[in-house]
Amino acid sequence: MKTTWLKLTLVSIFSVIIPSSCIKETIESKTTLLVERSWRFERYGLDENNNGVIEDAENYMMPCEADDVFTFMVDGAGFFEGYALPCTEGEPAVINFTWSFSNNETELAIFAAPEKINKLDENILEVYYMDQNFQGEAVKFIRRFRH
């Protein structure tokens, strides 16, 4: 009887420990996803048709921004690099910034007010804030970054 009880106890303990340790390994924190590599601007603009995607006609990104890179560090610091094509004369090659998560890591603040995180995974960072289009309708201003 003692042997059966001991076996059941050990099986119960291992059935809880093993799956929880596997889960911890596969779920990456948002901070880890943000800081593991630098992010390159992919596109940004007003989502005029409210479909959640910035189409070519809605994309405000200028050619000089295509090589812009944002690097986030664990301590909440970061830096922006404009690389080869500056958008304005005399633009610094590197601009430091601070970043932070808020509202249970559902919002990310870079330079200014927090923006809602639409997607953050191993390859894509997409944030947005609400704005108005020319007709006064509420639309999302979406910024999308990629590794």
What is the CA 69 to chain-centroid distance, rounded?
Answer: 13
Determine the Cα–Cα distance for residues 82 and 71; give it in Å rounded to an integer.
Answer: 12
Asked whether residue 116 is assigned to any structural domain, the reply reads yes
Domain that includes residue 64, residue range = 28-146
Q: pLDDT tens, 108-122?
A: 999 878 999 999 999
Q: pLDDT tens, 85-142?
A: 778 888 888 999 999 999 999 999 998 789 999 999 999 999 999 988 888 889 899 9
Determine the Cα–Cα distance for residues 85 and 62; give it in Å rounded to an integer.
Answer: 10
Whole-model pTM? 0.77
pLDDT band at 27 (very low <50, low <70, confident <90, very high): low
Asked whether residue 1 is assigned to any structural domain, the reply reads no
CATH of the domain at 91: 2.40.128.540
Asked whether residue 128 is assigned to any structural domain, the reply reads yes
Asked whether residue 126 is assigned to any structural domain, the reply reads yes
Q: How many domains does the chain have?
A: 1
